[in-house]
Every structure is written in structure tokens, then in C-alpha cells.
Amino acid sequence: MSALPAKKIKISKNFSFSLMTNIPHPTPTPPQGTHDVSQTAAPDALRQREIRSFVRRQGKITSGQRRALQTLSTRWVVPFSGAPLPLEMIFANRNPVTLEIGFGMGESTAAIAQARPEMNFLGVEVYDAGIGALMQKAQARGLDNIRIIQDDAVAVVRHGLAPGCLAGAHVFFPDPWPKKRHHKRRLLKAEFVASLASRLRPGAALHIATDWPDYAQEILEVLLHEPLLINASPNENGYCPRPDYRPLTKFEQRGLRLGNPVADLIFLRRGSP
């Protein structure tokens, strides 16, 4: 019996594959713990999520971080399916929750959580190394007021968080995507900021820090045009001094030595607390 003919299907200039005709193919099942946006998002949200603010890549990870992922995830990592998150159940208390988006190696998140045990901190990160590093710090310091979601922050904010549920949100040093052709990947666009602002309770602060001047100006313009937010800055340039609760990380200290200025933007959700 001769083999079925194969069609060569062009996917892109760098990738192609052969597909056997007349053979049914099963519908792929999303991996456990991932968010199948096509099942829950509106068409506008689908279009927005076609361009992500991050690229999943296999970065360096230490043996300790890998071990933390294997042994500590059940304590600190929260599965996310795209459904609303029961924050009181996740933290087992009713303490106010601050969202930490893109916490990197977790240095700032761990320090802030340790200094504020009366608050809960929900960290959202996509990279294994950072998640492993934060869990190492949480275990070493006995921090039970941290939980972690490994997923896209856009999906978590839009689908996982109820309006007015957050006591604050931190976005420290988001990827600036410096090349002009990549600016579309920057996280803090008007649509996402509007979603994030709506999740803050009245009086809660959205705190953003960046060491990329043109991105700082772009973010400032977006925040100034968001009707739910008001600038807390006392300065004419619209930026705030670094508040004491945001620690100087090794990354930031290195940048300052190289002459890279850091802009802190703090905007408050309008309305009475």
C-alpha cells in the first residue's frame, strides 16, 4: 500500500512542515494551568493578547531555583485558569492585596512583603528563575503573605481580578522594549492601564518605576489620560521621589552608577476610600 501524499504547508520564511492529507487531527488541549483565552476572552481582548509584553524563553536557572519550583510551588504558586480569583481563600485572610507585576528575581517583592506583614502580595511573573528565586526568599524569611501566579499579567488583571479588589499595584522596571519596532510590546498601554486602574479600590496607588526615560514619558502620558487616576506627584515633571518602601535593588544601584535616572510614577485611584 503506497503512502499518502504529503502537502508542504508554508508557515513562515523560517519554518515549514509536512501535513499528511485525509488524516484527522485532534484539537490540541492547553497545558494544565494555562489560560485558554479563546474560551473566555471577548474579540477585542483576543486581538490585544496577540501582541504580548514578554517572550517566553529558556533563561538561566540555578539548581536552587529549580529545586524551589519542584518543592515549594504547592505552597506559594496559585493555579490560574482564567476564572476570577478568590483572594480571601488564596491568602486565607481578608488582608488588603497589592498586585506585583513582573517581579523579576523577587528582591523588591520579598522586602516589601517582609516590611508589611499586614498586607498580602500577589506576584505575577512568567519566568521560572524569578519565581524560584522569590520562593527561596519567601521560605528563608518565613513570608506567608506572598502568592505567585505564573501567567500573563494582562490575562490575570482582566479575567482574574474583580473591580475594586486591589489595595495597590506595583510595576517595577517593566521591559522597555527599546527598539522602536518593538514599542508595541510595551505593557503599559492605555487599554491595560484602564483595566488595572479599575481593579484598584478608591484611594489605592498604582506605582510604576522605570529607568528608561522615553518609556517613563510615555507611561506618564498614558496615566495622565486615564480618567480613573490622579497624579500624586508634587513635582512639575509629574514624577515622584522614590518612596521609602521601594527598596533599591542591585539592578537599580548598578544603573544609577552608570548614570541611568530612575522615574517613579505614583497615581491614585479617584474616589473616597
Q: What CATH number corresponds to the domain at position 241?
A: 3.40.50.150
Q: Between these two residues, 5 and 150, which has the higher pLDDT value?
A: 150
**Model confidence band, residue 254 (pLDDT cutoffs 50, 70, 90):** confident
pTM for the model stands at: 0.79
Phi, psi of 148, rounded to the nearest 5 degrees: -130, 140
How many angstroms separate the first and last alpha carbons of the chain? Answer: 76
**The pLDDT of residue 50:** 56
Distances (CA, A) of 100 to 13, 23, 30, 169, 178: 38, 46, 26, 6, 22
Torsion angle, alpha carbons of 239, 242, 244, 245, to 10: 80
Average pLDDT over residues 217-246: 95
Share of the chain above pLDDT 70, in %: 78
Taking 50 as the threshold, does the pLDDT of residue 28 lie above it? no
**The pLDDT of residue 219:** 97
Does 11 fall in a domain? no
Q: Which range of residues forms the domain containing residue 97?
A: 63-269
- Round to whole Å and give the CA distance between 30 and 38: 11
Element (H, E) at 68: helix 63-71
**The pLDDT of residue 199:** 98
| Known active-site residue 151 | no
Active-site entry in 44, 128, 151, 175: 175
Does 13 fall in a domain? no
- Round to whole Å and give the CA distance between 86 and 76: 15
Taking 50 as the threshold, does the pLDDT of residue 134 lie above it? yes
**Model confidence band, residue 138 (pLDDT cutoffs 50, 70, 90):** very high
Q: What would the DSSP string read from start to end of 177-246? A: --SGGGGGG-S--HHHHHHHHHHEEEEEEEEEEES-HHHHHHHHHHHHT-TTEEE---STTS-BPPPTTS
Does 17 fall in a domain? no
**The pLDDT of residue 40:** 41
Does 9 fall in a domain? no
- Round to whole Å and give the CA distance between 184 and 103: 21
Phi, psi of 37, rounded to the nearest 5 degrees: -65, -30
Does 43 fall in a domain? no
Does 229 fall in a domain? yes
> For the chain, how many structural domains are there in total?
1
**The pLDDT of residue 35:** 39
**The pLDDT of residue 56:** 57
Torsion angle, alpha carbons of 237, 242, 243, 249, to 10: 160
Q: Contact 35/82 with Cβ under 8 angstroms? A: yes
Q: Contact 80/125 with Cβ under 8 angstroms? A: no
Give per-residue pLDDT as tens, 71-127: 999 999 999 999 999 999 999 999 999 999 999 999 999 999 999 999 999 999 999
Does 2 fall in a domain? no
Does 29 fall in a domain? no
Element (H, E) at 71: helix 63-71
**The pLDDT of residue 49:** 47
